[in-house]
Structure 1
Amino acid sequence: MQNCYLARQAILDRNNQTVGYELLFRDSPENKFPEIDQDIASSKLIIQNHFQGDIQAVSLGKLAFINFTEKCLVEKYPLMFDKSTIVIELVGHKTPTQHLLKIVKFYHDKGYKVALTEYDLDKKWDVLFPYIAMIKINIEVINAKRIRPLLDRIKSLNIKLIAEKVETNFQLQSLAEVGFNYYQGFFYHEPEIIAGQTLAPIKSQMLHLISETFNKPLDFAHIAEIIGHDVNLTVGLLKLVNNVATGTRVEITSLKQAAAYLGEDKLKQFVTILALSKLSSDKTNEISKQSLITAKLMSSLAKESAFVEISEFAFITGLLSGIEVILSMPMDDILKTMPLAKPIKEALVSHTGLLGELLQLTTNYIIADGENIQQLIDYYQLDADVIHQEFVKASNWCQSLGI
């Protein structure tokens, strides 16, 4: 049986809030579209993933943007989904035939959001405008300044414009001025380094707290001392103890006791997640989520594989993988403030070593942007199906955190 994989790419609004993810079919862990009929690709994505609950897990409860050919629409595949959970992306069309118009109107009347893709600015597509919610424009193909006449034609229809292939934050800013509403690409992976910037004390404290939880043995007193410097962390720790202690009478007399009561595993999870959330802003929320999924996926893959020897470093490495973007500082400068093991620093700075290869494999798999993934999978004798399953589990776990 041929395997089926999902890749995803975030779609963000002008405030860098994630509105959804485009889910992309892959027939191998290599992040490129396979040489396969688009109808078959859409069918596999739906049949082999939706019924396992994968799609909503991978899209973290946000809108799932899914490609549908005209044939898939005729077969009524989108009706398998709740209309509030997906956006129908029209693919494979060359011209707006009467048949396509009838189909698009059908889904519009059913309450589904339809996005026109592969758009070339030709006025022939205007006939579809009353029935679509979004238009995707590939800015590598079409100069953004050419959309101004389009804006006048869609102004009264509340159609949102999505810019594809956005690679830099500078592009995002200029596209917002032109009139785009949403953005898709790798711009949110780009750190905006500010010369001479230093790490604020509170952020330095959070990084220290994260690294402290990975010391052996765990120093509960020291962790409690750091938590005690922040009211929100203190309240969060006590709430967590209360949740864990449901049904029993526990009188907490100190933060050290609260930390010890939770035990190492729960304390580590609480501290790392809460500290990361305090480091993140609205602008870096997507990176924060991606870092959590990366951490969980790396940890899972390292348990029983050629990566087992670096398994104790896997979670924190994944968690810190996006910290350069989150803090807008060079990774080298950030890591100077953290007493991390050498393999972790080498993996984060240069993706070298066994840990670095696991990080590269995991991050490229998640964001659908990378080469030689299959080569790494083969070399380390990993099971591609297991990677996919653990990715879904990690996405579910991230969503359950409510961040």
Structure 2
Amino acid sequence: MFAYVARQPILDKDQNVCAYELLFRDGKENCFPNIQPDEATSKILANNHLTLGLEDIACHKTSFINFHKDTLLNEFPSMLDPEHVVVEIVETIPTTEEMITACKKIKDKGYKLALDDYNFNPRWDIFMPYIDIIKVDTHLTDYQTVARHVDKFQKANIQLLAEKVETHEEFNLYNNMGFELFQGFFFARPEVIKQKNLPTSKLALIELMKESANTTFSFERVNAILERDVGLAYMLLRFINNPTVNKRYEITSLRHALNYMGEIELKKFISILALAKLGDDKPMELLHMSLVRAKFCELLSHARKDVDNPPKGFLVGLFSLLDALLSQNLSDVVSKLPIDSEIKQALMGERGRLADYLSVAKAFESANWLNLIRLSKELNVDQKLLHGLFNQSIVWGNGVRQTISPHYPKAQPAVI
């Protein structure tokens, strides 16, 4: 048996990621598998469910984890660090005295408890003294019902988290209502277009991305661009000295870095750098998702023995959220990119190997295991390998995210 695991970001009112919900699956149930309570945490997480630690997959932020009846009754959460974990009580648990006692014990040990898919049914009232966060499915509960109860929960010092927030309009609606946390992919979709043309500064970055997508490559031209921009040169040196990229040599000069990296790696760096600059006013999670998708599509391309220069799988993943980063329609963005036609077709959703690689990455993000199984068979790639590649991509994305954002503080558990 191998792990079904995905993660979905939880953002605050400023659209900063403060936690991740870790979606563990046993392939059948929509919650943490019903395991024996005497299994050690290290064995469960390391061997049965994750090849990564919680800190890696959650970027050292708080992890929200679903628990169902048996795992709560057997106090399974107590095997995990209360400073890093929020215990999600799923909506299927019975509202019995036995369950209330179990939740009280968990709460007394220092854990924060979240009530998942709260439907405002009075039967949950007896749990409220132990609840810190209420998660509301915005697609299942009407706005008026939610609005009537917000003041009551705020007075009880219970945080409200809006789930399945898919548009910026929904985010603004629940943000203004008093919700503090948000889960959904609204941040990964473009807002209403307010301008037809990209600013000149961003068009220049698009040109830089052109260099990375060309089959012919000029080291001299790239060197000249970087020499005129101290910030870009500094970021190049940070990137190449990152242990996830280079474990053997310390790079001290710009030309040394260019020679060491080689054409393909330099093309990837240029693309990452341009993307980071393009999205400097957007949620960091957009860039992070792009990085993970890029690395995963590249690793999957290698696993299937594709030979591309530029690395098409990497670029497809990296550019897949350009519409959200630029607040433009994807078709308009793609038309401005002088890139390979196969990459353009994949970004526009036309079927092909690159589009399939991107679909696998999206299946992991949404925990769509049925789609993952189907794509695994179509691509003739073992599903265990896909899970391993995605985990590698998360670790790589974490490292690069830290490297290209020197102002970004070292990741610490979020206060929720």
TM-score range, shorter chain: 0.7 to 0.9
- Does 2:12 align with 1:13? yes
| 1:223, distance to aligned residue in structure 2 (A) | 1.1
Indicate the residue corresponding to 2:34 in structure 1. Answer: 40
Quick check: 132-141 or 41-50, which moved more?
Answer: 41-50
**TM-score (ref. length: structure 1):** 0.86
**Gaps (5+ residues) in structure 1?**
29-33
- Give the distance between the partners of 1:285 and 1:201, measured in 2 at CA: 22
Asked if 2 retains the 8 angstrom alpha-carbon contact of 1:205 and 1:226, the reply is no
1:308 corresponds to which letter in structure 2? Answer: D
- Give the distance between the partners of 2:18 and 2:283, measured in 1 at CA: 14
- Give the distance between the partners of 1:36 and 1:241, measured in 2 at CA: 41
- Give the distance between the partners of 1:143 and 1:357, measured in 2 at CA: 36
| 1:109, distance to aligned residue in structure 2 (A) | 1.9
| 1:297, distance to aligned residue in structure 2 (A) | 0.6
| 1:313-332 alignment, distance < 5 Å | 313-332=312-331
1:213 corresponds to which letter in structure 2? Answer: S
- Give the distance between the partners of 1:249 and 1:276, measured in 2 at CA: 23
| 1:313, distance to aligned residue in structure 2 (A) | 0.9
Quick check: 158-167 or 257-266, which moved more?
Answer: 257-266
Moved over 4 A (4+): 35-39, 41-51, 92-95, 238-250, 255-258
- Give the distance between the partners of 2:290 and 2:223, measured in 1 at CA: 25
2:102 corresponds to which letter in structure 1? Answer: I
The C-alpha deviation readout for 1:325-346, integer Å capped at 9, x for no partner, is 1111122322333321111111
- Give the distance between the partners of 1:282 and 1:99, measured in 2 at CA: 49
Equivalent of 1:308 in 296, 306, 312 = 306
The C-alpha deviation readout for 1:104-125, integer Å capped at 9, x for no partner, is 2222222111101232223443
The C-alpha deviation readout for 1:50-84, integer Å capped at 9, x for no partner, is 56434433222222211111320222221222112
- Give the distance between the partners of 1:235 and 1:47, measured in 2 at CA: 37
| 1:170, distance to aligned residue in structure 2 (A) | 0.6
- Give the distance between the partners of 1:22 and 1:199, measured in 2 at CA: 35
- Give the distance between the partners of 1:8 and 1:242, measured in 2 at CA: 28
| 1:68-79 alignment, distance < 5 Å | 68-79=67-78
| 1:183, distance to aligned residue in structure 2 (A) | 1.4
Quick check: 265-274 or 197-206, which moved more?
Answer: 265-274
**TM-score (ref. length: structure 2):** 0.83
Indicate the residue corresponding to 1:31 in structure 2. Answer: none
The C-alpha deviation readout for 1:219-250, integer Å capped at 9, x for no partner, is 11111233345342133235567887998896
The C-alpha deviation readout for 1:175-214, integer Å capped at 9, x for no partner, is 1111211112232232124154211222222232233134
- Give the distance between the partners of 1:242 and 1:168, measured in 2 at CA: 38
In 2 relative to 1, CA 96–192 (structure 1 residues): closer, same or farther, beyond 3 Å? same
Indicate the residue corresponding to 2:382 in structure 1. Answer: 383
Indicate the residue corresponding to 1:367 in structure 2. Answer: 366
In 2 relative to 1, CA 112–303 (structure 1 residues): closer, same or farther, beyond 3 Å? same
- Does 2:230 align with 1:213? no
In 2 relative to 1, CA 393–308 (structure 1 residues): closer, same or farther, beyond 3 Å? same
RMSD: 3.1
In 2 relative to 1, CA 95–378 (structure 1 residues): closer, same or farther, beyond 3 Å? closer
Secondary structure of 1:137 counterpart? strand
| 1:240-259 alignment, distance < 5 Å | 252=253, 259=258
Asked if 2 retains the 8 angstrom alpha-carbon contact of 1:6 and 1:45, the reply is no
In 2 relative to 1, CA 309–159 (structure 1 residues): closer, same or farther, beyond 3 Å? same
Asked if 2 retains the 8 angstrom alpha-carbon contact of 1:117 and 1:136, the reply is yes
| 1:191-206 alignment, distance < 5 Å | 191-194=190-193, 196-206=195-205
| 1:309, distance to aligned residue in structure 2 (A) | 4.9
1:101 corresponds to which letter in structure 2? Answer: I
In 2 relative to 1, CA 391–45 (structure 1 residues): closer, same or farther, beyond 3 Å? farther
Asked if 2 retains the 8 angstrom alpha-carbon contact of 1:38 and 1:92, the reply is no
2:34 corresponds to which letter in structure 1? Answer: I
The C-alpha deviation readout for 1:254-308, integer Å capped at 9, x for no partner, is x556533544355344433332221224533222111110110111111132x62
| 1:4-403 alignment, distance < 5 Å | 4-27=3-26, 34=28, 39-40=33-34, 46=45, 48-49=47-48, 52-93=51-92, 96-194=95-193, 196-238=195-237, 252=253, 259-260=258-259, 262-264=261-263, 267-281=266-280, 283-305=282-304, 308-309=306-307, 312-368=311-367, 372-401=371-400, 402=402, 403=405
- Give the distance between the partners of 1:335 and 1:285, measured in 2 at CA: 22
| 1:316, distance to aligned residue in structure 2 (A) | 1.0
Quick check: 100-109 or 376-385, which moved more?
Answer: 100-109
The C-alpha deviation readout for 1:343-399, integer Å capped at 9, x for no partner, is 111111133322222222222333335874322211221110000011111101111
| 1:134, distance to aligned residue in structure 2 (A) | 0.3
1:209 corresponds to which letter in structure 2? Answer: L
Secondary structure of 1:303 counterpart? helix
2:197 corresponds to which letter in structure 1? Answer: T
Asked if 1 retains the 8 angstrom alpha-carbon contact of 2:190 and 2:328, the reply is yes
Secondary structure of 2:86 counterpart? strand
1:336 corresponds to which letter in structure 2? Answer: S
- Give the distance between the partners of 1:176 and 1:75, measured in 2 at CA: 37
In 2 relative to 1, CA 40–294 (structure 1 residues): closer, same or farther, beyond 3 Å? same
Quick check: 191-200 or 111-120, which moved more?
Answer: 191-200
In 2 relative to 1, CA 238–22 (structure 1 residues): closer, same or farther, beyond 3 Å? closer
In 2 relative to 1, CA 266–47 (structure 1 residues): closer, same or farther, beyond 3 Å? closer
Asked if 2 retains the 8 angstrom alpha-carbon contact of 1:11 and 1:22, the reply is yes
Asked if 1 retains the 8 angstrom alpha-carbon contact of 2:20 and 2:61, the reply is yes
- Give the distance between the partners of 2:173 and 2:30, measured in 1 at CA: 36
Asked if 1 retains the 8 angstrom alpha-carbon contact of 2:132 and 2:159, the reply is yes
In 2 relative to 1, CA 249–116 (structure 1 residues): closer, same or farther, beyond 3 Å? closer
